[in-house]
């Protein structure tokens, strides 16, 4: 099996950057001691663990759970709590408020 660094790099991608983004990229490449942009980006892609983006539904459910928590803390009636739980369930299963 060939060494990964010796494999032919025959795939190409194109990205568009603003002047400020390009300057930031060039600074990071220089600070990291890379000679080529391609090598820097390949290593970055291979080692990066991207932050998982939170979907709008998760944010909405979190907001509703905080609201439910406030109702519990306020000793709300059982019917109010059940209603809030049903709303959260509807959001969780793809429904809307």
> How does pLDDT run along the chain (97 residues), one tens digit per residue?
455 567 898 999 999 999 999 999 999 999 999 999 999 999 999 898 777 777 888 888 999 999 999 999 999 999 999 999 999 998 888 765 4
Q: Can you tell me the distance from the alpha carbon of 65 to that of 83, in angstroms, rounded to the nearest whole number?
A: 12
Residue ranges per domain, the chain? 7-47, 56-92
**Half-sphere exposure of residue 55: CA atoms within 13 angstroms, side-chain side:** 6
- The pTM (predicted TM-score) of the whole model is 0.47
DSSP 55: P
């Amino acid at each position: 099996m060939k060494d990964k660094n010796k494999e032919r790099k025959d795939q190409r991608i194109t990205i568009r950057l603003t002047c400020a983004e390009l300057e930031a990229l060039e600074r990071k490449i220089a600070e990291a001691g890379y000679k080529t942009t391609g090598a820097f980006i390949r290593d970055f892609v291979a080692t990066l663990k991207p932050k998982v983006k939170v979907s709008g539904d998760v944010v909405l459910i979190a907001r509703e759970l905080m609201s439910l928590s406030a109702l519990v803390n306020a000793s709300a009636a059982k019917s109010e709590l059940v209603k809030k739980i049903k709303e959260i369930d509807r959001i969780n299963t793809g429904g809307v408020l």
